[in-house]
Amino acid sequence: MKNFIYFCTLFLCILSFSNSASAQKVTLDFRQTELKSVLDEIQKQTGHVFYYSEPPVDAQMPVTIKASDEILWVVLDKIFSNTQITYLVSDLKIYLKQDDPAPKTSGSVYKGLILDSDNQPIIGAHVRVVDTD
């Protein structure tokens, strides 16, 4: 019984920590300020470190953001909403990168299932249309 209480307490502590880390809040008020300055302020408030390369991420890009006690992920979505920049969060690290453009398609859409001889779907199967790139 003693071990059960110990594990329950440990579980609740871990759960509490993970919820507080994922719901970190920031307050920002910037107008036409360089992205680097905005990211530096977020780092001061949250402890998250940003990693990116120039180019493709332009650290001098002007940013206008106003957020009052908002969740970090919501603020990041606002900052990068009209850009090609995406982010990936890993612990206290946030990686920024330029989003790859969508692949060009021929305009034709093909849908369906690829089945084996027993009429079972083949997982991970791909279709290639002949004489196309």
DSSP 23-92: T-EEEEEEEEEEHHHHHHHHHHHH--EEE--TTTS-TT-EEEEEEEEEEHHHHHHHHTTTSSEEEEEETT
Given strand 49-51, what is the order of strands in its sheet?
49-51, 93-98, 85-90
Task: Note the pTM of the prediction, 2 decimals.
Answer: 0.60
**Residue bearing the bigger pLDDT, 25 or 9:** 25
Residue 103 predicted with pLDDT over 80: no
Residue 88 predicted with pLDDT over 60: yes
Contact by Cβ (8 Å): 70, 25:
yes
> What dotted CATH number matches 24-124?
3.55.50.30
Q: What is the pLDDT of residues 11-68, one digit of tens each?
A: 555 544 444 445 689 999 999 999 999 999 999 999 999 999 888 899 999 999 999 9
In angstroms, the CA 20 to CA 6 distance is: 21
Domain ranges of the chain: 24-124
Residue 76: predicted pLDDT: 94
What is the distance of C-alpha 54 from the center of its chain? 19
Which helix or strand (DSSP H or E) is residue 72 part of? helix 72-79
Residue 21: predicted pLDDT: 45
